[in-house]
Amino acid sequence: MTSNSRRNFIRNTAVAGVGTSLMGPQVFTSPLPSSRAVKKIIVAGGGIAGLCAGYELMKRGHDVTVLEASGRHGGHVFTARDGLSDGLYGDYGAEHITRPGYERYWQYLNELGVEALPYPRRKNLLRQIDGKFYTEEMLSDRSVLTKMGFNLTEVDYLSKHPYWDLVSLYNKPYLDKFTDEYQPFGVGYDNMDNTPIADIYKKGGASAKALDLLGGANTSALFELWRSAILKLRGVSQFPVDVFRLKGGNQSLPTAFAKKLGDRVQLNCPIQSIQHDKAGVRVKFKWMGEPQELSADYLVNAIPPPAFRKIIVTPGFSPEKQFVLDNVQYDSYQRFVFQCSSKFWEKDKISINIEFDSPDLWSVWQSADEIDTHRVIVLGTGAGGITPQRAMAVFKENYPGATKPTVEQVVSKDWTKDGFAPTCERVHFPMGQLHKFWPEIMKPSGRIYFAGASTDNLNWGMEASTRSAYRAADEIDKA
């Protein structure tokens, strides 16, 4: 398995954000306007987390201003239409949602009248492994699995379970001890934070082929077992197949938040510095290049740490909080939008849901299929720094059918080079350091609260963002 493929496997099996046990049963209810005194709050960052936090605070009757550094709201949730024909679109950022697993997010869809559509992007996957393509049926065939190098136990398991669920063969015996998804410690596995999860697989008798597929040589066993336990507690599989997307693009929900907030959202307002004390916060920023200043009772920081590090904060944070802000790590990627003149793959009677083992282009799938046109959108994810022309060439070179892909054009968004929202999902914490990050990563610091995918117990993008935003707003309202 290539490093990129392994990275994809880790990212695709990541889990969603905060649930009910930490925040109490009120987390899935729509609050009435607060009877408490009106508070003035600045929300730093107009991505989905910042917009959600602003929306929740506004509903409670507070005075909210959202400051977004760029000229558009939505952050990493970005639906592109420019340059595409026939009303087509492509999601540059944010891929899909699940049910269960995205409970807070689904509530907002219902509340704001945003429609979700089934998204068969993970069904009938074609996987390229060591240069050869395998269907799901092939990857459950005992003879195929044996030739690939799996041992007898693994062959027996994979002949009855999906290929992506091999990890459950080795971690399932450990999961029942986790009963609170917000508490990874004290269940008898604390010492495993210094043990790579690959050692657990080896202890269970994993073959060299399984170890290559699962990876984990640099992943804390405690972190990985906790992640899998959260999935189990929420009733979510390791690799959800029945997923959804938003009609018209995933940016529809941030747009709905922004519409409700109206002129409370101010664009082109990069924050330069933040001063805070026991009485409140004072923010210096620029609006269209002109220096501005705004004071408030509280601040919700919804700016990802890599960008937030550039802002001067006085006084500085505690050593514990600063460690988290300085060391939390993310992955990133580039999204390609291929506009094609036909569903060329249907001639070959194969699926367009493909995972490649190319270092440049990792996967492709169809989207925007509700648009009434003969043209189609095929989305792709790959490495930063790759030109759209190179991605198109890789797509054509690796496509397994006989029909030539009918790509009319390709546009892309290289998130690795974005100045405001370069990060995707938080990656696992380094071995031996889970106690330094959790729960510090979600704690407020004085009158500064934190929201965003990085501030949840795990990292399933849009759900983690909305749950953490709700938590921050609820805590400020009650402060």
pLDDT single digits (tens) 159-208: 999 999 999 999 999 999 999 999 999 999 999 999 999 999 999 999 99
* CATH architecture label of 31-75+251-329+426-478: 3-Layer(bba) Sandwich (3.50)
Among 6-20, 256-270, 400-414, which stretch is predicted with the lowest mean pLDDT?
A: 6-20
State yes or no: pLDDT of 35 exceeds 80: no
What mean pLDDT is reported for the chain?
92
Neighbours of 250 (CB within 10 A): 29
pLDDT single digits (tens) 264-274: 999 999 999 99
Q: Which residue, 408, 374, 403, 368, is CA-closest to 388? A: 408
Give the separation between CA 314 and CA 144, rounded to whole angstroms. Answer: 61
* Across 7-20, average pLDDT: 34
Query: Quick one: pLDDT at residue 172?
Result: 96
For residue 91, give both structure tokens.
């999601």
Q: Which residue did the predictor score with more confidence, 369 or 12?
A: 369
State yes or no: pLDDT of 339 exceeds 50: yes
Query: Quick one: pLDDT at residue 28?
Result: 43
Give the separation between CA 134 and CA 479, rounded to whole angstroms. Answer: 55
| Bridge-based pairing state of the strands 40-44 and 354-355 | unpaired
Neighbours of 149 (CB within 10 A): 13
State yes or no: pLDDT of 358 exceeds 90: yes
Q: Where are the domains of the chain?
A: 3-12+141-234, 31-75+251-329+426-478, 78-123+243-247+332-417
Among 17-31, 112-126, 131-145, which stretch is predicted with the lowest mean pLDDT?
A: 17-31
Q: What CATH code is assigned to 78-123+243-247+332-417?
A: 3.90.660.10
- Record the pTM: 0.91
Query: Quick one: pLDDT at residue 460?
Result: 87
* Across 366-391, average pLDDT: 97
Reported as a pLDDT band with limits 50, 70 and 90, residue 30 is low
CB 80 within 8 A of CB 95: no
* Whole-number Cα distances in Å, 469 to 305, 386, 466: 15, 34, 5
| Bridge-based pairing state of the strands 354-355 and 361-367 | antiparallel
Q: Which residue, 16, 22, 102, 15, is CA-closest to 472? A: 22
CB 225 within 8 A of CB 188: no
Among 7-21, 38-52, 263-277, 328-342, which stretch is predicted with the lowest mean pLDDT?
A: 7-21
pLDDT single digits (tens) 298-323: 999 999 999 999 999 999 999 999 99
- Following DSSP, what letter does each residue of 33-63 receive, concatenated? PPSSPP-EEEEE--BHHHHHHHHHHHHTT-E
pLDDT single digits (tens) 407-440: 999 999 999 999 888 888 899 999 999 999 999 9
Residue type, 175: L
Cβ neighbourhood burial of 417 (10 Å; 0-12, 13-18, 19+) = exposed
Reported as a pLDDT band with limits 50, 70 and 90, residue 31 is low
For residue 340, give both structure tokens.
């094609």
Judge if the upstream peptide bond of residue 315 is cis by omega within 30 degrees of 0: yes
Cβ neighbourhood burial of 458 (10 Å; 0-12, 13-18, 19+) = buried
Contacts of residue 104, defined as CB under 8 A and 6 or more positions apart, other chains included, come to 17, 27, 28, 463, 466, 467, 470
